[in-house]
Amino acid sequence: MKPSLLLLSHLCLFSLMPPSWASDSAQGASSLTCWYDSRAALFCDWDPGRDLAEAPCQLEILSKKGFCDRWSRPSSEKPKKHCKLPKAEHMTGLRRCIKTFNQNVNNQCFTVADSLNLSVHCHTGENKTKIPEQIKNFKPFANIKLRPPGDLQLVNITENTSNLTWSLNISSHYLDGKREYQVRFRHVSQSWEEHPSQSCQF
Ligand SMILES: *[C@@H]1O[C@H](CO)[C@@H](O)[C@H](O)[C@H]1NC(C)=O
Ligand SMILES: *[C@@H]1O[C@H](CO)[C@@H](O)[C@H](O)[C@H]1NC(C)=O
Ligand SMILES: *[C@@H]1O[C@H](CO)[C@@H](O)[C@H](O)[C@H]1NC(C)=O
Ligand SMILES: *[C@@H]1O[C@H](CO)[C@@H](O)[C@H](O)[C@H]1NC(C)=O
Ligand SMILES: *[C@@H]1O[C@H](CO)[C@@H](O)[C@H](O)[C@H]1NC(C)=O
Ligand SMILES: *[C@@H]1O[C@H](CO)[C@@H](O)[C@H](O)[C@H]1NC(C)=O
């Protein structure tokens, strides 16, 4: 590792997917954006606008192939799941839901062959339902956003070298050999903002 790294006391770590697997532009309509953590969870952000910020709404998730309980459940089970959308967050104005399809967060719930239809359903009056937003043909594997790595540790080996380790516990084996990490560092006296983002990728 570079000598300059010894000076740092602040590091941050990212895990990235190559552009062919994911990008900043997730698939979706303008106000609904969803990401897949590559295992058992789907994260969705919906910008409800002013009218539907507090309406009772939920995300409906349809999958022809079923979900990760597809092997153990009778096939008569409806391939449909719901995720309640809580009230809009104060800071962002977004309504977010996290759907975990299995109790085991490391269960492989989707593959590249899966395609989902996602739609927001809101009750706007007695017997009245509105579908303000939907994404057809959402491909989980084309919209991967990995969870942040954890357990970052820096151990001095010699005066000028150190060993940096971390863990990434929730990530699909389908991505083995395709993950990239980025380490960003700065001098103690600088802030992340004013630092000309030095980083190393590997
Ligand atoms: C998703 O919507 C498309 C277009 O309406 C439809 O052809 C397809 O069967 C739907 N998929 C599921 C899983 O419901
Ligand atoms: C809502 O549906 C119920 C049952 O179908 C019906 O009895 C009721 O009159 C409906 N209300 C309105 C406002 O349409
Ligand atoms: C990852 O798993 C290891 C070993 O089970 C555990 O010690 C660690 O806390 C986990 N890290 C995160 C970020 O969950
Ligand atoms: C590692 O080395 C740096 C530079 O010599 C020192 O500032 C830091 O305290 C050391 N960290 C540990 C955990 O020993
Ligand atoms: C460590 O780096 C410092 C500053 O670059 C240098 O003066 C020193 O000789 C290096 N020590 C070793 C053991 O390489
Ligand atoms: C760095 O840490 C890893 C994980 O603890 C360990 O396997 C490796 O041997 C260490 N490398 C050195 C040079 O100490």
Alpha-carbon span 143 to 10, nearest angstrom: 30
Atom of ligand 3 nearest to the CA of 169: 1
Using a 6 Å cutoff on CB, does residue 193 contact ligand 5? Answer: no
Is the predicted pLDDT of residue 81 greater than 80, yes or no? yes
Q: Compute the mean pLDDT over every residue in the chain, rounded to the nearest whole number.
A: 83
Using a 6 Å cutoff on CB, does residue 153 contact ligand 3? Answer: no
Of the chain, the percentage scoring pLDDT greater than 90 comes to 57
Alpha-carbon span 32 to 107, nearest angstrom: 25
pLDDT, average across residues 54-81: 81
pLDDT tens, position by position, 153-180: 999 999 989 899 999 999 999 999 889 8
pLDDT at 23: 44
Let me know whether 102 and 52 are in one domain. yes
Using a 6 Å cutoff on CB, does residue 62 contact ligand 1? Answer: yes
Residue 6 Cα to ligand 4 midpoint, Å, equals 7
Residue 60 Cα to ligand 1 midpoint, Å, equals 13
Let me know whether 77 and 104 are in one domain. yes
Let me know whether 49 and 137 are in one domain. yes
In a domain, 23, yes or no: no
Let me know whether 42 and 13 are in one domain. no
In a domain, 43, yes or no: yes
Q: What is the CA radius of gyration of the chain?
A: 21
In a domain, 22, yes or no: no
The whole domain housing 162 covers 3-17+148-201
In a domain, 84, yes or no: yes
Are residues 188 and 10 in contact, defined by beta-carbon separation less than 8 angstroms?
yes
Which of 120, 142, 164 marks a domain boundary? 142
Let me know whether 52 and 111 are in one domain. yes
Using a 6 Å cutoff on CB, does residue 167 contact ligand 6? Answer: no
Let me know whether 158 and 84 are in one domain. no
Which of 142, 168, 193 marks a domain boundary? 142
Domains of the chain: total: 2
Eight-class DSSP state of 65: T
More confident residue, 160 or 199: 160
Let me know whether 122 and 178 are in one domain. no
Let me know whether 63 and 7 are in one domain. no
Atom of ligand 2 nearest to the CA of 125: 13
In a domain, 26, yes or no: no
When pLDDT is cut at 50, 70 and 90, the band that residue 34 belongs to is very high
Let me know whether 109 and 153 are in one domain. no
25-89-197 Cα angle (round to 5):
50
Let me know whether 184 and 153 are in one domain. yes
More confident residue, 35 or 4: 35
Using a 6 Å cutoff on CB, does residue 160 contact ligand 5? Answer: yes
**Ligand lying closest to the C-alpha of residue 137:** 1
pLDDT tens, position by position, 120-156: 999 988 889 999 999 999 999 999 999 999 999 999 9
Is the predicted pLDDT of residue 4 greater than 70, yes or no? no
- Domain of residue 83, CATH code: 2.60.40.10
Return the structure tokens found at 174. Answer: 């389908």
Are residues 61 and 42 in contact, defined by beta-carbon separation less than 8 angstroms?
yes
Residue 45 Cα to ligand 2 midpoint, Å, equals 32
Place of tokens 């492989």: 108
Tell the residue nearest (CA) to atom 4 of ligand 5.
Answer: 3
Let me know whether 96 and 164 are in one domain. no
Let me know whether 125 and 52 are in one domain. yes
In a domain, 166, yes or no: yes
